[in-house]
């Protein structure tokens, strides 16, 4: 499972307090190419479709009634273009009612 498998949900997890469910995209690619941004966009579109359609509730019944979050865990720190792109993703995703965060592997989540 990775950013290159656009139609696969990588990870679904529940928060320790049980109030939210997080869908995680794993990104092992280095930043600096438009192809990378397209792969992230394709993957996030799959996740959004999975959530908006309600399919998540069939696949992961624990998600019912919980806050839904998306996160991207990056192997490498995003470059400036990547950070701008991820900020735009956060804006779009929050406008449809979900939370969005990203982080570099080994660091804390970055709230935009």
- Are 73 and 27 in contact by the 8 Å Cβ rule? The answer is yes
Kindly state the helix (H) or strand (E) to which residue 2 belongs, with its residue range.
none
- What global pTM score does this model have? 0.87
pLDDT digits (tens, 9 = 90+) for 14-67: 999 989 999 999 999 999 999 999 999 999 999 999 999 999 999 999 999 999
CATH topology of domain 11-104: Transcription Regulator spoIIAA (3.30.750)
Averaged pLDDT for residues 11-15? 94
The per-residue pLDDT for 104 is: 74
Domain residue spans of the chain: 11-104
- Each residue of 42-61: b (16+ CB within 10 Å) or e? ebbebbbebbeeeebeeebe
Averaged pLDDT for residues 102-106? 75
Residue 2 pLDDT greater than 60, yes or no: yes
């Amino acid at each position: 499972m990775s950013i290159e498998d656009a139609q696969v949900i990588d990870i679904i997890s529940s928060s320790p307090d049980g109030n939210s469910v997080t869908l995680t995209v794993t990104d092992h690619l280095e930043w600096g190419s438009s192809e990378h941004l397209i792969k992230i966009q394709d993957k996030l579109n799959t996740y959004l479709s999975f959530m908006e359609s309600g399919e998540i509730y069939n696949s992961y019944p624990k998600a019912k009634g919980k806050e839904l979050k998306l996160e991207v865990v990056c192997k490498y720190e995003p470059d400036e273009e990547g950070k701008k792109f991820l900020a735009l993703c956060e804006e779009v995703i929050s406008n449809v009612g979900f939370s969005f965060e990203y982080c570099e592997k080994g660091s804390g989540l970055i709230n935009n």
